[in-house]
Amino acid sequence: MTEITNLGVTETLEGLNKKEFSSEEVTKEYLEIIKNEKDLNAYIHYNAEKSLSLAKLSDERRAKNKALPLEGLPIAVKDIFCVEGERTSACSKILENFIPSYESTVTSKLWQAGGVYIGKTSMDEFAMGSSNETSYFGSVINPWSKSEEKLVPGGSSGGSASAVAARLAPIALGTDTGGSIRQPASFCGTVGIKPTYGRCSRWGIIAFASSLDQAGPLTRSVADSALILQNMAGFDNLDSTSVNIKVPNFLDSCSKSIKGMKIGIPKEYKINELSPEVEKIWDEGIKWIQDAGAEIIDVKLPHTKYALPTYYIVAPAEASANLARYDGVKYGFRKEDTQGLEEMYSQTRAEGFGKEVKRRILIGTYVLSAGYYDAYYLRAQKVRTKIVEDFNSAFSNCDAILTPTAPSGAFKIGEKNIDPITMYMNDIFTVPASLAGLPAMSIPAGLDSNRCPLGLQLIGKGFDEETLFSIGTIIEKSANFKSI
């Protein structure tokens, strides 16, 4: 491991600004590691020529004193963001050879801020999963695994979390529909924020469940997260759900006091499945926040127990509609030598999608079908409203809510992928904020008995990521978490 790749976002930018190294040098270092790295399977694609030419252009801008805010910083991208000219597959066979002719708004903003594309990271197929085991390109390994026991990095942004934790990138982009930034961040000991729904544009991100999908960064520090989100966020005409609201200075929030703030603790999150080690870290988090001068109060989120089943109706319903476009005609893979259109469609989809994606399409189609719509989809939408109301009333008494990110730390590859319900249980603490469209962040807080990371989750009011950055910094300082 070289010195440059040990640096996070802030330190890399400092080194570049002080001309300790050039963007070309930094980019070369990362490309070298990515090329030789075989153990984690975190990256699925990179383009050295493109990255180096972007780095050179960045160095030229700096030489002319025209440095941009993220000038020369290598950025890894989850394979769900369209990057112009770069294969974007959502880790599915059906999009194996899809090369977009356009750029997602979020990535384009980052390149416009001087960021340098460094490669595509693996993910669960179409972002459906919590372990990165459903990727068409194989499982990703959690860098915290001991040699005898391979652990999952979490999912679906598992490649991004693994890459950032193992110093294969100073920052990687993720998306979060029901926990896909926060849960892998927790498993790999990185910071991950899912901003408020509408804060970042969804344009050019391959859609899973459009009323839930949001983009966000995975980084090794809270301040790095603030800086990157600053440059990703903002209104976009191309996404009708993007909200036209000013993007505050998130970095400033990292140094604000939390004295006098009220932090809510929902007892509904104290479920049977919660591991004692996670509960212990949660108690420690409460103490750190109290020590920093905030007040801890109890809040009620009575519909929490319905959040997981609600999510697993709403998300598959939207997915079944979004994934209808992959039919072998317009995009990617097509099954050859079939008899007629109907057979081409069905065989393309049968072969092109993996098992979990097919399961979601079946569930989604079922809950939307005539006769079942009212009983499942409509009811789930009503419960979703109840969950939103729960949060509204909790936030009339507090500034943020503190919970664990996941009920346990990283588990073994193969341990939970037999039974989908066991896998879905991972998302129990992350889906409520997703259904309510609220910002939520995972901060590394300690280790489990396996000596693997555990994260704490902060949930904030809509468009109040600032409070999360302030409290997140306190948790980060108090936990004094040592990354690998």
Residue numbers at the binding site for ligand GLN (CB under 6 A): 127-130, 156, 176-180, 208, 315, 427
The closest of 206, 3, 227, 250 to 102, measured between CA atoms, is 206
257 burial via Cβ count (<10 Å: 0-12, 13-18, 19+): exposed
Nearest distance in Å: CB 407, ligand GLN: 13
Task: Report the residue number, 30 or 269, with the smaller CB distance to ligand GLN.
Answer: 269
3-state SS class at 174 = strand
Three-state helix/strand/coil letters over 102-163: CCCHHHHHHHHCCCEEEEEECCCHHHCCCCCCCCCCCCCCCCCCECCECECCCCCCHHHHHH
Instruction: Kindly list the distances between the CA atom of residue 390 and the CA atoms of 31, 178, 196, 435, in Å, as whole numbers in the listed order.
Output: 47, 18, 17, 11
Q: How far is the CB of 329 from ligand GLN (least distance, A)?
A: 26
In the structure encoding, which two tokens stand for residue 50, read together? 């493109």
Q: Which is nearer to ligand GLN, 73 or 218 (CB)?
A: 218
* 225, 310, 416 from 322: Cα distances, Å: 29, 18, 27
Question: Which CB sits closer to ligand GLN, 107 or 130?
Answer: 130
Closest to 170 in 3D by CA, of 367, 324, 16: 16
Strands 171-176 and 74-78: parallel
User: What's the length of the chain?
Assistant: 484
Residue nearest to ligand GLN (CB): 180
Coarse DSSP helix, strand, coil percentages of the chain, rounded to the nearest 5 percent: 40, 15, 45
Name the minimum Å distance from CB 131 to ligand GLN: 9
Task: Confirm whether 346 is a catalytic residue.
Answer: no
Reference 34, options 94, 68, 77; nearest CA is 77
In one letter, which amino acid is 220?
Answer: R
Tokens representing 1 are 């491991």
To the query of whether residue 253 is one of the catalytic residues in this protein, the response is no
Are the C-beta atoms of 286 and 296 separated by less than 8 Å? Answer: yes
Residue closer to ligand GLN (CB basis): 30 or 429: 429
Q: What is the CA radius of gyration of the chain?
A: 21
Minimum distance from residue 347 beta carbon to ligand GLN (Å): 26
Kindly state the smallest distance separating residue 205's Cβ from ligand GLN, in Å.
Answer: 11
- DSSP category for residue 294: P
Q: How far is the CB of 328 from ligand GLN (least distance, A)?
A: 25
Does the annotation count 180 as an active-site position?
yes
> Minimum Å distance from CB 315 to ligand GLN?
5
Catalytic residue among 22, 122, 156, 162: 156
Residue with Cβ nearer ligand GLN (227 or 315): 315
Residue 412 contacts by C-beta under 8 Å, 6 or more apart in sequence?
149, 150, 151, 152
Q: Which of these is catalytic: 92, 180, 221, 253?
A: 180
Q: With respect to ligand GLN, which residue has the nearer C-beta, 208 or 463?
A: 208
Taking the least distance from each CB to ligand GLN, the nearer of 229 and 261 is: 229
Specify the residue, 54 or 314, whose C-beta has the smaller distance to ligand GLN: 314
- CB of residue 71 to ligand GLN, shortest distance in Å: 31
- Which residue among the candidates 23, 51, 78, 104 is catalytic per the annotation? 78
Question: What's 50's DSSP letter?
Answer: H
The residues carrying an active-site annotation are: 78, 156, 180
